[in-house]
Structure formats: C-alpha cells, structure tokens
Amino acid sequence: MNAFSRPQKLDAAPRPGDDMPSYDARDLIADGVQARVVLDGQSYFLRITRAGKLILTK
C-alpha cells in the first residue's frame, strides 16, 4: 500500500453506539514504521514506536 491508497476497514463486530470507522494502524503504515496522513493540505506523520505505541506529529 502506498501513502495515497485507501486503508481497509477492520471487520470487527461493532459495539452498540460505536458507528465510527476503525482502521488497523499497521494497515495504514504498511511495511514501514511511519505513514503520512493529510488533512486539509496539512501533512501529519503517524509512527509506531519500538514499544508499540502510536505517535502523531505535524
């Protein structure tokens, strides 16, 4: 997957009242450790740390 392809939604069963889309961070990042996320022309970077935490920076 490249930075411009659309990630796949998770197939987890929705919980009552939970209607927001869910994405697996590893699908967004693909084979690397970082992905670019663009919002209104601004780039942000989503990174998975060695400890398995997510960091979003501008």
Summarised one tens digit per residue, pLDDT across range 3-43 is 455 555 555 565 666 788 898 999 999 889 999 999 999 99
Q: Which domain holds residue 14?
A: 1-58
Q: What is the pLDDT of residue 20?
A: 86
Whether this prediction's pTM lies above 0.85 is answered by: no
CATH code for the domain in which residue 5 is found: 2.10.70.10
Q: pLDDT at residue 53 above 80?
A: yes
Number of domains into which the chain is organized = 1
Q: Assign 3-class secondary structure to the chain.
A: CCCCCCCCECCCCCCCCCCCCCECHHHHHCCCCEEEEEECCEEEEEEECCCCCEEEEC
Determine contact, residues 46/55, Cβ cutoff 8 Å: yes
